[in-house]
Structure 1
Amino acid sequence: MVRTVVQDLSGMGRPVSLTSLAAQAWSRVRRIVTPQSPYRIGDAVVGDDPFKGRREGVVVFLQGTSAGVDTVQGVFFYDHRQLKKLD
């Protein structure tokens, strides 16, 4: 007997392997444990560094614990521990 209706396999979802689930879980755990900057892009901050001096600006770049602060003199990169929010 010939079937007139064929099931659409795209609606069944894609197969998931155990290694991909483990990789996703590991990346979530690693992201929680790694240190991150408490500042967000667009925050007004003051960077105080003994070598670069004290500069006011806006956060324009974040990567891990580093933050790029756009000032009048240019972009300076600070560790998040050297920054304070501008009042």
Structure 2
Amino acid sequence: MAPLEREFYNRKELANLLGVTPLTIYRIAQRGELDYHMVGNSMRFRREDIEKYLASRRNIGLGSSKKGKTIRKKSKR
């Protein structure tokens, strides 16, 4: 991802930077995971809020590459 150079980004610009769709950005914001400001009818995202969101999404356990087991309940027959 390119470094964040501007103070504010719209949904489309942020989606391009993060490699997701504008709809994904909208959903993340609506869930309250990423703060935003409304300018007219447009969402605007501050660099500081984007960096905070990205920091919260970093993987903490990078030491292991093992995949977890899927646990399934047995169906009652």
TM-score normalised to structure 1 length = 0.25
TM-score normalised to structure 2 length = 0.27
Work out which structure has the larger RCO, using CA pairs closer than 8 Å and 6 or more positions apart in sequence: 2
Rg: which structure is higher? 1
